[in-house]
Amino acid sequence: MYAENGNRKFEYFAMRNVWYQMSACLIKEEDARLYDTCLDRMYTRAEDDDDKDLKNLWLHFWTFVGMKLPQVAADHVEQFLVITIDHKNFSLLTLLPVSFF
């Protein structure tokens, strides 16, 4: 996705556009769950390589899909907590379960 000089290539922009459109179009749990393995790998690679682009794609997916399909997002609360607490990124804070009891 990157040229030798570090610039993003066409493939990056094409993939990003498809990823953004796809996440906005998911409306059923079954459809969103098809991406679980991909999202887990994306999260792992983003954490291991400290890849900000992958992390942003992952965050974007959960920002859209997590609000529409909270049951799917509930399976990834541990990852959300790592992003929120360890990395101090509060973009997924609204997806975390809260109890006042």
Structurally, how many domains does the chain consist of?
1
Domain assignment of residue 55, yes or no: yes
* Residues 6 or more apart whose Cβ sits within 8 Å of residue 53: 1, 8, 12
**Residue 100 confidence (pLDDT):** 62
Q: What is the pLDDT of residues 50-77, one digit of tens each?
A: 888 889 999 999 988 988 998 999 888 8
For 45, the domain range is 10-95
**Residue 96 confidence (pLDDT):** 77
Domain assignment of residue 1, yes or no: no
CA-angle at 92, arms to 71 and 23, nearest 5°? 60
d(CA 32, CA 84): 22
Domain assignment of residue 2, yes or no: no
Eight-class DSSP state of 95: G
Domain assignment of residue 4, yes or no: no
Give the other-Cβ count within 10 Å of 69's Cβ: 17
d(CA 22, CA 51): 21
User: Average pLDDT for residues 85-90, to the nearest whole number?
Assistant: 88
**Residue 101 confidence (pLDDT):** 60
pTM of the model: 0.81
